[in-house]
Every structure is written in structure tokens, then in C-alpha cells.
Structure 1
Amino acid sequence: MHDDQVLFEFLILEGAQAGLSWDTILKRRDAYNEAFDYFDFNKVAAYDEE
């Protein structure tokens, strides 16, 4: 895999999975998409405290 956005998504989902089942994480994937601006790492990097 060489797509940075997909790799970022995998990183976020893997971190969220710690202690939970993959089934649980994948059911919440849409919510993670919205929470992390559809895994746009440039937007996430620009997040501030607000």
C-alpha cells in the first residue's frame, strides 16, 4: 500500500481497535471518517485546540 491517506486511515483504526473487536471498529468506521475529515491527514495536521 502506497496511498498515504489509506495508510493514515489504517493507523487511526488500528489505534482505535486496541482492546476492541474489529467488528466494533468497522461498524463505527463512518463516524471515524467524519471525525477525522475522511482521513485527510493534512486537515488533521492543521487541527488546533478548538
Structure 2
Amino acid sequence: MALIQVSLSNDSGYCNLGITVDVIQTLIKEAAYVIAEVNSQMPLTNGETLIHPYIRD
């Protein structure tokens, strides 16, 4: 299980991983369950930082 924080979703429904992007992508892919807490203070960052709350690869 992964417990992560994300930004508010954008117009397309995607959330940004913000400053937690370092190993979170791997953690999300490996975890059986992912619980995301929406943090309105999470800054938006560039790169592979977008995730959709309802779609997993």
C-alpha cells in the first residue's frame, strides 16, 4: 500500500505529484493499493509528475 500526497486536479482530472516525485512513480506502480491525500499546498512541478486518480498502468 502506498500513501501519497498530490496537488488538486487540473482541468483534465490529473493530479501533480509535486515535490514527492522522486521515487513515488515506482512506488505507485509496485503498490497493490494507492491512497492519495489531496494537498492544496502541494506545488506543481514539471516532468513526469502527473497521475490520474482513477487510472493505473
Q: Same fold by TM-score, threshold 0.5 exceeded?
A: no
| TM-score scaled by length of structure 2 | 0.27
The structure that has the greater radius of gyration is: 1
Q: Which has the higher strand share?
A: 2
| TM-score scaled by length of structure 1 | 0.29
Which protein has greater RCO, CA pairs closer than 8 Å, 6+ apart?
2
